Amino acid sequence: MAALIAENFRFLSLFFKSKDVMIFNGLVALGTVGSEELFSVVAFNCPCSPARNYIYGLAAIGVPALALFLIGVIWNNHTWNLVAECHKRGTKNFSAAATFLLFGSIMGRASVAPITWSVISLLRGEAYICALSEFVKPSSLDKFPSEYGAEVLAKFPCRDVPANLTKFRDEVTRRLRYESQLFGWLLIGIVAVLVFLTKCLKHCCSPLSYRQEAYWAQYRSNEDKLFRRTAEVHSRILAAKNVKQFFGFVALDKEEKELVQEFPVEGVQPSPQWNAITGVYIYRENKGFPLYSRLHKWAKGVEGNGPTPEGHELLFLAS
């Protein structure tokens, strides 16, 4: 069941360009499916009580989705780049289109897991049945005993009903499961259409050719990998020097000794350099030459963050 449902969520990869990000978000979706399955089997337990069913059913769908959305926002690098940008430079250099693009990127990526959770919950139907069983009108059920009301209908998800109401319980469950799954498939369709339109709009408005955009994605990925790898080695060597200065020696393994000998570290980068390469980056060109990142811009010695006669903002956010 989980594998079948996961197959329907492959369209979510349209949000992303690089294979690494696609794989990561695919794992996020699959992990969400597994978590929802585990939650339904182990944790979900409808109270089968009027007024409580509705709150519990909505909470079972909405609260985990909200938590997953917030986690997605926290894990997104754009979020903290935006925080750094606002703290260091403000948003005065951002146009309305750039701001919308940035928030759209953050919200879109953070929505992968909560949408997956919501759709799987709707396709399973347990939470929806629990939430709405008490609101089924007895008059819509053929020959439903008049002496029973919402209190008995609220117990239908738990199968704790008199024997003469078994067929009505099955009918109510089947009806609500149909509605729940219908909403789930509609949500899948709506999200798929929105993703398709977003991708089309993005490529139509992109100032870059397809090949240059692919090159930009490769550059960002390689720059990030090399920066992280180099930063790890640099920090290790600097830490080794400081420890040696304190103790008079430092205990290094063979690999670390080779690193210290091969890459001499004289000092640390000043804060202005860190600030210059930190923050939100929107694609810019300088005298017709592309600047693919803040690090690239710093290395080329281009000053300023906003549009200039030589360098202009093209309102295209690195995704």
Q: Which one, of 259, 218, 220, lies nearest residue 241 by Cα? A: 259
Q: Give the span between the Cα atoms of 170 and 159, in whole angstroms.
A: 9
Residue with tokens 């259409």: 193
pLDDT of res. 161: 77
Q: Give the span between the Cα atoms of 76 and 72, in whole angstroms.
A: 6
HSE toward the beta carbon, residue 20, CA cutoff 13 A: 8
pLDDT of res. 238: 94
What is the residue type of 157?
P
Concatenate the DSSP letters of all residues of 61-74 into one string.
Answer: HHHHHHHHHHHHHH
Average pLDDT estimate for 252-262: 91
pTM: 0.71
At 38-92, the pLDDT tens digits run 555 557 788 888 889 999 999 989 998 999 899 999 988 888 877 877 777 666 6
At 171-189, the pLDDT tens digits run 888 999 999 999 999 999 9
Where residue 11 falls among pLDDT bands split at 50, 70, 90? very low
Task: Return mean pLDDT, the chain.
Answer: 79
Please state the domain extents for the chain.
38-204, 208-298
Average pLDDT estimate for 200-206: 80
